Chains A and B, each alone.
Chain A
Amino acid sequence: MPILIPVSMAPASFELIASLVLRETSIIYEPRKEYLVEARLHPLSVQAGCASLDEYVQLVMRNPVERQKSIDALTINETSWFRDNAPYQAFTDTMLPALLAARADRRRLSIWSAACSSGQEAYSIAMLLDQHLPAGWTADILATDVSTAMLTRVQDGRYSQVEMNRGMPATSLVKYFNRTGAEWEVVPTLRSMVRTRHLNLAEPFPMIGTFDLVLLRNVLIYFDQATRHGILRRMHPHVAPDGYLLLGSSETTLDLPADLNAMWGREQIGRVQAHRRATHAASTLAVPRLNPHTASGSLTGARP
């Protein structure tokens, strides 16, 4: 007879887990998000042979392996390829041409996908660079995340059919992925452009250099205001003086304190707002466009 595990957890267990995730990652799980925590921990609870989610939470509290697993499960964000489309359009149409002009001497671009989750953002950028980077140029994409399980997924570069359906143009699917059993595996040329590193955005950043483009999209919403501001302060020196920082389309920095407002300027590029180091944003009113006629069109030439 199958063991039936209650899928709800006691308020005390939720508080324990929410405190753990807050302490370890600064990500907030507010009351009313119990269903999300329950849904994500339930498979781990079954796997661990626990009779209830409450029992599993107790196990998490004393077992470091289960603790890491639960943190991994609770820090996964739903994501898709070329998510929201507009930022990638703005990248190919405006940011990339500007960066190609500015980096003509070293012919190298550095990009950071902060909180990369399962890697769709990093590989989406890699595909665009493969298509648009002139011969003789190289690009280095750093993908970081607080979840080691996610970093392993990025390194493996293998995705399920359901994941591949989420925003991946069919032309890119056949060009950049090979089918292996029930999954699709990113081609080696693309994978070689992406390197991974464990990084908790809520803690001081290690020495990772400066980047021409930082993608910090749909991440800040998970943090409290003080942590959000701390991240934006620490991020500043890691964005090149003429580089770009992209936040999620629903994320705003209108509530910044004066010192942060002085550090970051905002620039409307197509349908997205890019953040730039204030000194550069103030002096840059316009940047060249690669192809103004494709501003609202398809990204990857998906239409034959």
Chain B
Amino acid sequence: MTQRAMIIDDSRAMRSILRRIIGGLDFETAEAGHGQEALDQMEAGFEPDLCLIDWNMPVMDGYTFITEVRKRPEWRNVTLMMVTTESEQGQIVKALAAGAHEYVIKPFTPDAIVEKLELLGLSGKGIPA
């Protein structure tokens, strides 16, 4: 079964870059411009296996999105990966403690995303990487 990814970033250009990388791995993708929009889509029935999450966004930031997702037992299997310019060590620790599985700091190369997903056992096609 094809795996699903939610790309959450207020930059349309960044969403487009990530969509190309993730789409190339055969993920079915959805996009949101902030955390609340992503939560709304998930409430409406889009069940992602993976969320790629920017930190700084309007309405609801990525950190708050992670804490909201982690409050919901039905979403406990969703893999959460921050993709952000936030590069302070304390911020990384904070995101991991809140429930993020992985953390990629912008700028990144496409390989970086692919390698992180391999590390997390996600390949896009429902087959462990």
Give A contacts to B, CB under 8 Å.
80, 82, 85, 161-162, 164-167, 169-171, 173-174, 178-179, 296-299, 302-304
Contact = CB atoms under 8 A, between A and B. Distances in A.
Contacts of A173: 92, 103
Contacts of B88: 179
B119 A298 contact: yes
Nearest to B101: A303
B96 A166 contact: no
A80 B95 CA distance: 23
A296 B128 contact: yes
Interface of B: 79, 87-89, 92-93, 95-96, 99-105, 107-109, 111-112, 115-116, 118-121, 128
B112 A170 contact: no
B107 A298 contact: no
B120 A161 contact: no
B104 to A, nearest CB: 5
A162 B119 contact: no
Contact of A170 (B79, B99, B103, B111): B103
A281 B110 CA distance: 39
Contacts of A167: 112, 115-116, 119
A304 B78 CA distance: 12
10 contacts: A82-B119, A161-B107, A166-B109, A166-B111, A167-B112, A170-B92, A178-B89, A298-B120, A303-B101, A304-B99
Given A164-B105, A165-B108, A304-B101, 8 more contacts: A80-B111, A161-B107, A162-B109, A167-B112, A170-B103, A298-B119, A302-B119, A304-B96
A296 B96 CA distance: 22
Of B92, B96, B115, most A-chain CB atoms within 10 Å: B115
A170 B120 contact: no
A304 B95 CA distance: 11
A166 B116 CA distance: 8
Contact of A165 (B96, B112, B118): B112
Contacts of A174: 89, 92-93, 96
A72 to B, nearest CB: 22
B115 A169 contact: no
Contacts of B92: 170, 173-174
A169 B115 CA distance: 10
Given A173-B92, A298-B121, A161 B87 contact: yes
B89 A302 contact: no
A169 B119 contact: yes
Contact of B120 (A162, A166, A179, A302): A302
Contacts of A179: 87-89
B25 to A, nearest CB: 16
B92 to A, nearest CB: 5
A165 B120 contact: no
Contacts of B111: 80, 166
